[in-house]
């Protein structure tokens, strides 16, 4: 199925009445695009809710408050998929070795949502890969696996912290710009 221009429209802030009608028609028949839009809505809620108004409240409390305010279960789970997807994304970025320059001139919202949807869709096929990997790992001595896991974990943690601080700076800059 051809997903254009609908894929672009999902990220558009303002559509004409006619475009809106066409988009709704397409979403009703296209699972890919409606999933993408759901993730986008969850993302919007996650980052545009009163979260930023109360920076002193704890992260868990803010999440709870948002969850209560959210009446739509689908959008709530989409937001959680976002968080899970972000973690997967961050870890994969470690191994792709992206630099800090990467953040400049980049539509981060579009990239994050599309990437997350892709991740969710590929998780299924990953499971079979993981199963065969586990079988392969069983032939490697336990100590070697432990040391490698420790090193990878440390590197991942470093990059996740780096990523979060970069995200915070980006969103702070965006808020200032608005």
Q: Please count the residues of this chain forming the interface with Zn ion, following the rule CB under 5 A.
A: 4
The minimum distance between CB 114 and Zn ion, in angstroms, equals 13
| Other Cβ atoms within 10 Å of 112 Cβ, number | 18
Report yes or no: 120 and 81 within 8 Å, Cβ to Cβ.
Answer: yes
Report yes or no: 67 and 149 within 8 Å, Cβ to Cβ.
Answer: no
3 binds Zn ion (CB under 5 A): yes
Please, which of residues 52-111 interact with Zn ion by CB under 5 A?
none
Please, which of residues 20-49 interact with Zn ion by CB under 5 A?
30, 32-33
The minimum distance between CB 120 and Zn ion, in angstroms, equals 16
The minimum distance between CB 5 and Zn ion, in angstroms, equals 10
Query: Taking the mean position of all CA atoms in its chain, how far away is CA 177?
Result: 23
Which range of residues in 3-11, 96-104, 154-162, 170-178 is near Zn ion by CB under 5 A?
3-11
Angstrom distance (rounded) from CA 91 to CA 158: 10
Nearer to Zn ion, 26 or 90 (CB): 26
Closest-CA residue to 109 (of 33, 178, 167)? 167
Query: Who's near 133: CB < 8 A, 6+ residues apart?
Result: none
Nearer to Zn ion, 23 or 90 (CB): 23
Q: Which residues bind Zn ion (CB under 5 A)?
A: 3, 30, 32-33
């Amino acid at each position: 199925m051809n997903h254009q221009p609908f894929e672009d429209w999902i990220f558009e802030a303002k559509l004409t009445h006619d475009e809106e009608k066409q988009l709704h028609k397409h979403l009703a028949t296209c699972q890919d695009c409606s999933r993408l839009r759901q993730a986008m809505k969850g993302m919007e809620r996650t980052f545009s809710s009163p979260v930023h108004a109360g920076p002193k409240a704890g992260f868990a409390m803010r999440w709870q408050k948002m969850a209560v305010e959210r009446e739509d279960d689908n959008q709530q789970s989409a937001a959680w998929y976002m968080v899970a997807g972000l973690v997967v994304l961050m870890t994969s970025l470690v191994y792709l070795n992206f630099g800090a320059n990467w953040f400049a001139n980049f539509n981060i919202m579009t990239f994050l949502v599309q990437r997350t949807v892709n991740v969710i869709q590929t998780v299924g096929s990953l499971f079979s890969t993981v199963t065969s990997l586990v079988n392969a790992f069983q032939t490697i001595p336990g100590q070697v696996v432990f040391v490698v896991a420790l090193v990878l974990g440390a590197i991942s943690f470093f990059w996740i912290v780096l990523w979060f601080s970069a995200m915070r700076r980006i969103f702070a800059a965006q808020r200032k710009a608005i």
